[in-house]
Amino acid sequence: MTDFVHTRSLFHIPDGVVYMDGNSLGPLPIAAQERVAKMMRDEWGEQLIKGWNSAGWYVQPRKVGDRIGKLIGAAEGTVVMGDTLSIKVYQALASALNLNPSRRVILSDSGNFPSDLYMAQGLLELLDDGCELDIVEPEEVEAAIDDSTAVLMLTEVDYRTGRLHNMKELTAKAHAHGALTVWDLAHSAGALPVDVTAAQADFAVGCTYKYLNGGPGAPAFIYVAPEHADAARPALSGWMGHEAPFAFDLDYRPGHGIERMRCGTPPVIALTALEAALDVWDGVSMDDVRAVSIGLGDLFVREVEGRCPELTLASPRSGNKRGSQISFLHEQGYAIMQALIARGVIGDFRAPDAIRFGFTPLYLGEAEVLKAVDILADIMANRLWDMPEYRRRAALT
Amino acid sequence: MTDFVHTRSLFHIPDGVVYMDGNSLGPLPIAAQERVAKMMRDEWGEQLIKGWNSAGWYVQPRKVGDRIGKLIGAAEGTVVMGDTLSIKVYQALASALNLNPSRRVILSDSGNFPSDLYMAQGLLELLDDGCELDIVEPEEVEAAIDDSTAVLMLTEVDYRTGRLHNMKELTAKAHAHGALTVWDLAHSAGALPVDVTAAQADFAVGCTYKYLNGGPGAPAFIYVAPEHADAARPALSGWMGHEAPFAFDLDYRPGHGIERMRCGTPPVIALTALEAALDVWDGVSMDDVRAVSIGLGDLFVREVEGRCPELTLASPRSGNKRGSQISFLHEQGYAIMQALIARGVIGDFRAPDAIRFGFTPLYLGEAEVLKAVDILADIMANRLWDMPEYRRRAALT
């Protein structure tokens, strides 16, 4: 069993804070500070332009990609880092559509993160070829997959409720109907065991600032299944994805395999922070993370339902049907979350009425969960949320 | 006159190094180290998710954009940061094409940075609507602008030779023919006075890791002329460019003005390093930078031509016809640059045969330029480049 006492010592959690928002932004891995300082001083400062080779910056997107790959069941050389998740969604989706040219429907659901849907809309507007985006309810996805589906594009864990799609089964059904799949693992990678190889996912993408603790705006990753890697057209065809970036040819020729999903110059400082954050996972079993996370979540649901009857559970009750976050609904959700934050319990609010809590064993244990419930129960029982300063700002509505 | 003794003290240049490759990667601004450390510790570490508001991360792309705007003659609220230059080229080009729907030709030149051309090719392949990319020689650009031109897409300063396009004249000619312009300022911003407003540029993009010293892979910027800002379609339509990102609507509605050019979650750590790098410009006159840079370049050309007859000048002889870099050609250019680097003179090599030197007064003066010439002359006179360890590696050919 992973010793989470050890991993907790690797993060900085401010005094008095119960941090239940690692599903939005993971906390600071203490070692990241010195790692970045060292990179800036010894690599950028001392090696200057030579750092691209001597400090390994040029190969860093692949090297870090391989480390993420281990956490999501991807073989070496099938994951690369760069850009943001939105950009990687675009590349994956454009590639998948191109690989399935006789089909015209992208199937997604209303539980997909909106940015994924927006990127699809932007792509379809450019394509202007009759392709359409079909957005159904999460529970209708399976039935909606049919022989018209070009690409099934889903986020495995619903950002609102934590509801978990069955990646393997949905992918199998998509394949049986001749569709390809793009899986967004933003709320999965680092939260639960993922195996893109076993699930036969075609493309997978994710961010690294949530459960992977890479810092605000940390780079994204993209996985391309080996059978597509040399056929995929990256759409965003930048020089770092060129077969020979430093030949400076005038014509684009895609690089081999996953290399072609690189685009512009990689963000070295951010990747270096992420490298330090990934060290935390050494010796950690994702099965243990999952088991403890479910246990903490179950405890939270039980206690909150027992003590805060005004709150309605929005997440699946069964631990294996959800990711590692749990949401409750209340029309005053925004104010309730503000009151919680004011007392050191940091979760977040998702419009219109969800308060959301993440359960991340790397730095969160039973004592903190019980403390959070105590504070939440006090806020609810005494209507402590009903204060002018907790009212929702118009800008966020 | 700007006191460059002061600005030189703001950079870390390793002992014994003459750094003439700020046109690839600017050196470390000393203050960036502590600024990033502070951001990681006090903002990410202490404020966690709240940092998006309390530490101003959410508005940082606009705030930093406005600072870049001052260096390129852009009005407040017309520049935003994010992604990489390649991505911003794509957004600018897709927007410009969309604003000029009756035209089908993107005109560019062989002196444009290849990644810009590659991104255009990727876009055209997606559009698949008969649009074409016409690449002419730099000196043929002006004559090639005609009534079929949809978009003139150029890099102001040629990355190979430093040759400077006349942004104002070419833009005026483009407009006279009903074309829009996309200017890549990668080798201009921070190197010479730029005035996108006076030149009436429609779109401008650039990176910040060269003359703006933001660090390896620092974020890019995009400028959109006010008259296009609310009509442009960003193509890469991510949630941060949405009119109401936190409403989590299922449909994309572009944000107001330059906001719509935001895409995914911004890279806060990298933007923070860049903020510190931009402080260097406080009190610096770009006219002074330009005047001193031309003086240093002229000195270098004169000395090298006098002492190294084997080298052929590839850059314009007249200072006001070039940016702030100078290239010489030699078939053994790769080995010559390796020999220079081994002796502490860092420039770079651009295939097939150019050795390239940058003249950046912020941290480079006459003494360093003369020292570089001494070493270069010694290498050439004594064929010190002819060593096995300086031979070009096959991977780079």
User: In this predicted structure, what is the pLDDT of residue B275?
Assistant: 98
Residues in contact with A97: Cβ distance below 8 Å, sequence separation at least 6, in sequence order: A106, A123, A127, A131, A150, A151
Residue B9, domain member (yes or no): yes
Which chain A residues contact residue B119 at CB under 8 A? 236-238
Chain A residue with the nearest C-alpha to that of B61: A217
Residue B47, domain member (yes or no): no
pLDDT digits (tens, 9 = 90+) for B120-136: 999 999 999 999 999 99
- Is the CB of residue A379 less than 8 Å from the CB of residue A311? no
Q: Structure pTM?
A: 0.97
Residue A275, domain member (yes or no): yes
> Are residues B206 and B321 part of one domain?
no
Domain boundary residue, one of B279, B305, B334: B279
- Please count the structural domains in chain A: 2
User: In this predicted structure, what is the pLDDT of residue A393?
Assistant: 61
Chain B residue with the nearest C-alpha to that of A85: B264
DSSP three-state, residue B176 = helix
What's the mean pLDDT in B352-371? 96
User: In this predicted structure, what is the pLDDT of residue A394?
Assistant: 46
Q: Do A216 and B57 touch (CB under 8 A)?
A: yes
Residues A195, A199, A204: CA angle, nearest 5 degrees: 70
> Are residues A131 and A88 part of one domain?
yes
Extract the residue ranges of chain A whose pLDDT is less than 70.
393-397
> Are residues B318 and B171 part of one domain?
no
B113, B203, B211, B357: which one is catalytic? B113
Q: What is the mean pLDDT of chain A?
A: 96
Is the N-terminal amide bond of A138 cis, ω within 30° of 0? no
> Are residues A317 and A169 part of one domain?
no
A131 contacts chain B (CB < 8 A): no
pLDDT digits (tens, 9 = 90+) for B221-269: 999 999 999 999 999 999 999 999 999 999 999 999 999 999 999 999 9
User: In this predicted structure, what is the pLDDT of residue B391?
Assistant: 85
User: In this predicted structure, what is the pLDDT of residue B392?
Assistant: 75
Residue type, A76: E
Residue B303, domain member (yes or no): yes
Chain B residue with the nearest C-alpha to that of A37: B33
User: In this predicted structure, what is the pLDDT of residue B393?
Assistant: 61
B146 min Cα distance to partner chain A (Å): 22
Residue B96, domain member (yes or no): yes
What is the DSSP secondary structure assignment for residue B258, as one 8-state letter?
Answer: G
Residue A99, domain member (yes or no): yes
A53 contacts chain B (CB < 8 A): no
> Based on the number of CB atoms within 10 Å of its own CB, is A333 exposed (0-12), middle (13-18) or buried (19 or more)?
buried
CATH of the domain at B178: 3.40.640.10
> Are residues A128 and A103 part of one domain?
yes
B206 contacts chain A (CB < 8 A): no
CATH of the domain at A314: 3.90.1150.10
pLDDT digits (tens, 9 = 90+) for B1-41: 778 999 999 999 999 999 999 999 999 999 999 999 999 99
Which chain B residues contact residue A251 at CB under 8 A? 117-118, 121
Q: Do A36 and B32 touch (CB under 8 A)?
A: no
> Are residues A156 and A70 part of one domain?
yes
B320 min Cα distance to partner chain A (Å): 26
> Are residues A290 and A260 part of one domain?
no
> Are residues A101 and A203 part of one domain?
yes
Q: What are phi and psi of B376, to 5 degrees?
A: -60, -45
Reference B264, options B248, B280, B242; nearest CA is: B242
What is the DSSP secondary structure assignment for residue B40, as one 8-state letter?
Answer: I
Reading the block at residue A77, the tokens are 């050389």
A362 min Cα distance to partner chain B (Å): 16
Residue A48, domain member (yes or no): no
User: In this predicted structure, what is the pLDDT of residue A53?
Assistant: 95
* Among the partner residues A28, A37, A346, nearest to B33 by beta-carbon distance: A37
Provide the chain A residues 167-196 that lie in CB contact (below 8 A) with chain B.
none
> Are residues B109 and B154 part of one domain?
yes
User: In this predicted structure, what is the pLDDT of residue A391?
Assistant: 85
* Among the partner residues B119, B160, B250, nearest to A238 by beta-carbon distance: B119
Domain boundary residue, one of B279, B309, B329: B279
Q: How many CB pairs under 8 A join A and B?
A: 275
User: Which string of b and e fits B179-213 if b means at least 16 CB within 10 Å?
Assistant: bbbbbbbbbbbbbbebebbebbbbbbbbbbbbbbb
DSSP three-state, residue A240 = helix
Domain extent for B357: 4-30+285-396
Domain boundary residue, one of A227, A262, A279: A279
* Among the partner residues B44, B217, B341, nearest to A216 by beta-carbon distance: B44
**Predicted-assembly ipTM surpassing the 0.85 threshold:** yes
Q: How far apart are CA A243 and CA A146, in angstroms?
A: 37
> Are residues A245 and A113 part of one domain?
yes
Reading the block at residue B75, the tokens are 């009005």
pLDDT digits (tens, 9 = 90+) for A120-172: 999 999 999 999 999 999 999 999 999 999 999 999 999 999 999 999 999 99
* Contacts made by residues A308-312, CB under 8 angstroms, sequence distance 24+: A308/A376, A308/A377, A308/A380, A308/A381, A310/A380, A311/A355, A311/A380
Confidence of residue B274 (pLDDT cuts 50, 70, 90): very high
> Are residues B238 and B269 part of one domain?
yes
Residue B128, domain member (yes or no): yes
Q: How far apart are CA B329 and CA B350, in angstroms?
A: 10
pLDDT digits (tens, 9 = 90+) for B142-183: 999 999 999 999 999 999 999 999 999 999 999 999 999 999
> Based on the number of CB atoms within 10 Å of its own CB, is A320 exposed (0-12), middle (13-18) or buried (19 or more)?
exposed
| Of A247 and B376, more confident | B376
Residue type, A26: G
> Are residues B384 and B259 part of one domain?
no
A231 contacts chain B (CB < 8 A): no
Residue type, A3: D
Question: Is B113 among the residues known to form the active site?
Answer: yes
Give the count of beta carbons closer than 10 Å to the beta carbon of residue A238.
Answer: 29
Which chain B residues contact residue A64 at CB under 8 A? none
DSSP three-state, residue B212 = coil
